[in-house]
């Protein structure tokens, strides 16, 4: 079968939460990625990664490290059950953007489109000690409205620059481009909580890629490819390439269509006015 045939076969599978479906997806992705070199994008030394948790026993490093593999029970965008990765976000304009992306990726209020609520989210910060070559999951036809000059825009331009140097003949480069777009669309899928089996393709792709690559870099679905990007790193890379900086608790407030992560200088009264409500006390706490 050609690469195009394999992509069509993979795309035709109706994803379900079954061992048979998982087996088919895993087998075909294994065929696709067998000895197939992937394109890369660097994660530069000095980059600050923000990583969130819904709960944290304390604000130390251990609370924000990778979840033990045995506690990973479901598919996620870049990981399969009983495998763990280090998820985080990097902002285009600095730590604030990275924090906001990471919080939206974690937030039940945002992911479940809850209109009114407040939610505690714990945010940690990590610095990259040395450059990391990351498998690039980005394509010019996906998130085409990313801001000009943004990191996602740069990823797309980098993809266009390096694709002609792919080690293959011209016909295969065309097939690889189709594959890269297909994979990018899988990573760009919006998936409702409870339907995690819809991550089957992106999760198994990541699982295969992380056998040889340090990590994966991809646009954030929750901010529509703007503000920055997401990363998924192998657990062993954390000790060798990252330093823990600090962590802090944030509260995310949502009222109607307005969401606010308050700066410490704002009073509760100011936030309530900004959100268009009488008091923050009327917002239910989302666990």
Spatial separation of the C-alpha atoms in residues 247 and 242, rounded to whole Å: 15
Q: What is the pLDDT of residue 277?
A: 93
For the stretch 13-35, pLDDT in tens is 999 999 999 999 999 999 998 87
Confidence tier at 262 by pLDDT (50, 70, 90): low
Q: What is the pLDDT of residue 259?
A: 80
For the stretch 138-195, pLDDT in tens is 999 999 877 777 889 999 998 999 898 888 788 889 999 999 999 999 999 999 888 9
Q: Is the pLDDT of residue 58 over 90?
A: yes
Q: What is the pLDDT of residue 274?
A: 87
Report pTM.
Answer: 0.92
Say if CB 54 and CB 192 are below 8 A apart: no
Q: What is the pLDDT of residue 167?
A: 81
Q: Is the pLDDT of residue 286 over 90?
A: yes
Confidence tier at 264 by pLDDT (50, 70, 90): low
Q: Is 215 exposed, middle or buried (0-12, 13-18, 19+ CB in 10 A)?
A: buried
**Percentage of the chain modeled with pLDDT above 70:** 99
Neighbouring CB atoms inside 10 A of 277's CB total: 17
Q: What is the pLDDT of residue 109?
A: 92
């Amino acid at each position: 079968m050609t690469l195009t045939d394999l992509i069509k076969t993979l795309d035709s599978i109706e994803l379900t939460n079954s061992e048979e479906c998982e087996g088919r997806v895993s087998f075909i992705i294994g065929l696709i990625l067998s000895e197939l070199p992937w394109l890369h994008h660097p994660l530069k030394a000095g980059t600050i990664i923000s990583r969130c948790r819904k709960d944290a026993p304390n604000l130390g490093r251990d609370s924000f490290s990778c979840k033990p593999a045995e506690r990973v029970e479901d598919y996620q965008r870049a990981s399969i059950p009983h495998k763990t990765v280090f998820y985080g976000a990097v902002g285009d304009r600095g730590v604030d953007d990275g924090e906001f992306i990471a919080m939206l990726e974690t937030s039940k209020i945002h992911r479940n489109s809850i209109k009114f609520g407040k939610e505690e989210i714990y945010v940690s910060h990590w610095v990259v000690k040395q450059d990391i070559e990351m498998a690039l999951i980005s394509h010019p036809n996906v998130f085409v409205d990313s801001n000009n000059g943004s990191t996602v825009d740069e990823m797309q331009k980098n993809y266009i620059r390096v694709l002609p140097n792919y080690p293959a003949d011209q016909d295969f480069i065309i097939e690889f481009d189709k594959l890269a777009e297909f994979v990018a669309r899988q990573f760009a899928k919006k998936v409702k909580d409870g339907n995690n089996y819809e991550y089957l393709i992106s999760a198994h792709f990541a699982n295969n890629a992380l056998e040889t690559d340090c990590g994966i870099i991809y646009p954030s679905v929750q901010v529509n490819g703007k503000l920055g990007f997401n990363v998924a790193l192998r657990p062993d890379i954390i000790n060798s390439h990252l330093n823990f900086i600090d962590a802090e608790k944030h509260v995310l407030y949502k009222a109607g269509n307005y969401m606010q992560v308050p700066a410490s200088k704002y009073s509760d009264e100011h936030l309530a006015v900004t959100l268009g409500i009488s008091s923050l006390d009327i917002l239910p706490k989302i666990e």
